[in-house]
Amino acid sequence: MTLLEGCRSWKQSKRLAAVAAYEDTLTDARVAEFCRCLSRQMGHGCEVVKQMWLVNELRVPQLRSIAAGEAATSDLVIVSVHHAQSLPVEMSQWIEQWLAHKHRRPTVLLALFDPVYQGDSGSMQTYLAQVAKKAQMQFLVHSEELPEEI
């Protein structure tokens, strides 16, 4: 299932449940912009219900458990991070927790990364691709575009 195919099925259900984990205000803004664009694509007939989790909140076991429960039943799981060798530990723990409780229905895992010119996210991308394969999820990656030259 591609994201566009997901959009079709989400439009039919008239509701899209999205859960996002992000690192800071920049990665939060990236998620917000993506969801705005997705909402426009889906039209007025479909509601996008978005839950946002700051990685620092995932350090608290009770909050991580709540976030994992939301992700396990969502249509779209978004991970928005900066380039690094690996995901923050709290985010990996959250992923493993919701993965253990994921329902058997079509879900998309979307990684939103910094622009390619700012670094490499290869190891994180590989890890997330493995998670998606294990959970039988569609895995998509999006990096911001290069800034236009003046």
Between strands 15-22 and 47-54, the pairing is: parallel
Could you tell me the two tokens for 113?
A: 């990364």
Q: CA 61 to CA 113: how far, in whole Å?
A: 26
| Residue range 104-120: mean pLDDT, rounded | 78
Average pLDDT taken over every residue of the chain: 84
Model pLDDT, residue 10: 57
Q: How confident is the model at residue 59 (pLDDT cuts 50, 70, 90)?
A: very high
Q: CA 123 to CA 99: how far, in whole Å?
A: 19
Model pLDDT, residue 131: 92
**pLDDT exceeds 50 at position 2:** no
Residue ranges of the domains in the chain?
A: 3-143
Model pLDDT, residue 51: 95
Q: How confident is the model at residue 123 (pLDDT cuts 50, 70, 90)?
A: confident
**For the chain, percent of residues with pLDDT exceeding 90:** 51
Residue among 100, 52, 102 at smallest CA distance from 72:
102
Model pLDDT, residue 38: 86
pLDDT digits (tens, 9 = 90+) for 7-37: 555 556 678 899 999 999 999 999 999 998 8
pTM to 2 decimals? Answer: 0.86
The helix-helix angle for 89-101 and 122-135 (nearest 10°) equals 10
| Residue range 113-128: mean pLDDT, rounded | 79
Model pLDDT, residue 148: 42
In the CATH hierarchy, which fold is given to the domain comprising 3-143?
Rossmann fold (3.40.50)
Could you tell me the two tokens for 101?
A: 């409780």
Look-up of token digits 């800071």: 24
| Residue range 65-74: mean pLDDT, rounded | 94
Beta strands in the chain (DSSP E): 15-22, 47-54, 76-80, 108-113, 138-143
